[in-house]
Amino acid sequence: MDGPAPGLTGDTAPRLTGDTAPRPGPGLGTIAVLGLLLVGLVVGGCLVITGGGSGEGAGTTVPPRPTSTLPLGDLSLAGVEALGGIDVPDGAADFLSARLDGDRQLDVSFTVTPDQVDALVAGSDLPPLADGARVILHSSPLWKLNPGTPLSGAADVRDGVNRALEVTPEGERIRVRLTLQAT
């Protein structure tokens, strides 16, 4: 069969418009730049994954972890009073204590009657309690947290011990939460 295929008319050869000269591939300079970028990405990724080397002289925003510990030989109520300079009123109940963080912290919890709170704060030479002040910033299994109940707190440093105290109502009594931390 001679002639165009059925349905086609005229010249069927493809026509190119514009610049039809062949273009050269990437040059040696382009390949070198791409190679250096790839090496930089690999090295940077390795530094991120491994933490960036020895770290000597590197600035950090994380404060160093305290290395001192508390003398936690006596975890009784009398021992806690002596260690933290805390004057627990007579009649305190539900006393619990837990040593944490390699003896860097002691968590204490007990209950007192509402009329004993002021004596506890004054006798312990703590700053006045501030309504709504959360001064203990972590959770402890001792805290018996009561969501939605009012909270008051005070904190200071005494004899190289960070003291933080919070109080919250718990039925007819007041729950006292106390942390003693080595500085």
Spans of all domains in the chain: 77-182
Q: What is the pLDDT of residue 80?
A: 86
Q: What is the pLDDT of residue 121?
A: 96
Over the chain (183 residues), the average pLDDT of each successive run of 10 is: 55 54 67 73 69 53 65 80 90 88 84 96 95 82 70 91 92 93 85
Q: What is the pLDDT of residue 11?
A: 53
Q: What is the pLDDT of residue 40?
A: 72
Q: What is the pLDDT of residue 172?
A: 95
Q: What is the pLDDT of residue 37?
A: 74
Q: What is the pLDDT of residue 177?
A: 92
* Six-digit token string for 181: 């931390």
* Cα 125 to Cα 51, 87, 88, distances in angstroms: 45, 9, 12
Q: What is the pLDDT of residue 22?
A: 60
pTM over 0.75: no
Instruction: Count Cβ atoms within 10 A of the Cβ of residue 176 and give its class: 0-12 exposed, 13-18 middle, 19 or more buried.
Output: buried
| CA 83/CA 124 separation, integer angstroms | 11
